[in-house]
Amino acid sequence: MWCLLYKLVVIDIDGTLLNDDQQVTVRTKRALTEVLDKGIKVVFASGRSQHGIFKVIDELGIDTYLDYYICFNGANVINRKTQECISKNILKGIDLQEIYNWVNESGGFLYAFDHNSIVTAYHNEYATLEAAKNKLQVVKKDITSVNMQEDIFKIVIANRSEELDKLEKDIPNYFFNKYSIVRSHNNNLEFLNPFANKAKALNVIANSLELSLNEIVAFGDAGNDIEMIKIAGKGIAMGNAFHDVKEIADYITDTNNNDGVAKALEKFVLI
């Protein structure tokens, strides 16, 4: 029976590649190694900074096999070998000020990523956890005095899930024209450049590698993965994925705690 030979596997990190203990299981490591040994390319597509992605790549020991990685939910696409940024769609300090002023009235804990740190008006547990995951420092700043032209890669509002559900309903309509707004986690609401998403980043990589989107398998679990899963030849939702992610996926695998990535790779790629 004829089957499509996939040439690129794109994997979200948190909630997908990593289990809830922030580990890559033995079975998933083995499956990834076998994929790479077959000459199939692997790209990690994450909401993390490049430092946070490096942390995972280093633990896997597969750095030399990778050509690209997608940071900040598609705001940056980096060529691993040259460290050149081949696609950059970011925000500015003026955007941070605008969103900060709205959050002050609406509620929530705001932090943002600049070039070297996580910026926040006041320390909070969400920013601290994000800093550890991304190997960055938290810098306390007066957001109202941030340089309006300063580069900001993404802005995050964090809170309990039920509080963010309420907050989402109060987002000003004009924000949807100015920003790409996604839930990357139940506790996170992220604001990005309107041209920044994982699907657009994946298109950049596919063009660079001269691959058809039909030759790509993509894995994800959250709202920031939806567009990427939609355009891939095989879009796979994790068993722990958001309901709307599962609805648009071609296939639903097991959860991140039960080797969902490995099981789908074995079924569709390692054949």
Q: Are 136 and 160 in the same domain? A: yes
What's the pLDDT at 46?
97
pLDDT of residue 271: 86
Q: Would you state the pLDDT for residue 264? A: 98
Please tell me whether residues 106 and 177 are part of one structural domain: yes
| pLDDT score of 106 | 72
State the residue range of the domain holding 204. 8-88+196-268
Tokens of 217: 């398998």
Task: Give the tokens for residue 32.
Answer: 């990834």
Which stretches of the chain drop beneath a pLDDT of 70? 1-4
The answer to whether 51 and 76 have CB atoms below 8 angstroms apart is no
Is the Cβ–Cβ distance between 196 and 75 less than 8 Å?
A: yes
Question: Which CB contacts under 8 angstroms, 24+ apart, belong to 175-183?
Answer: 175/99, 175/102, 178/95, 179/91, 179/95, 179/99, 180/73, 182/73, 182/222, 182/223, 182/224, 183/222, 183/223, 183/224, 183/242
pLDDT on residue 269: 97
Identify the helix (H) or strand (E) that includes residue 220: strand 216-220
Determine the pLDDT at residue 23. 96
- Dmax (CA) for the chain in angstroms is 63
Q: Are residues 163 and 238 in the same domain?
A: no
Instruction: Count the domains in the chain.
Output: 2
Residue from 239, 215, 224 nearest 40 by CA: 215
- CA distances (Å), origin 23, targets 28, 133, 171: 10, 12, 35
Residue 126 lies in a domain: yes
Do 103 and 183 reside in the same domain of the chain? Answer: yes
Q: Tell me whether residue 61 is exposed, middle or buried, using C-beta atoms within 10 angstroms of its C-beta: 0 to 12, 13 to 18, 19 or more.
A: exposed
3 inside domain:
no
Determine which helix (DSSP H) or strand (DSSP E) holds 185, and give its type and residue range: strand 180-185
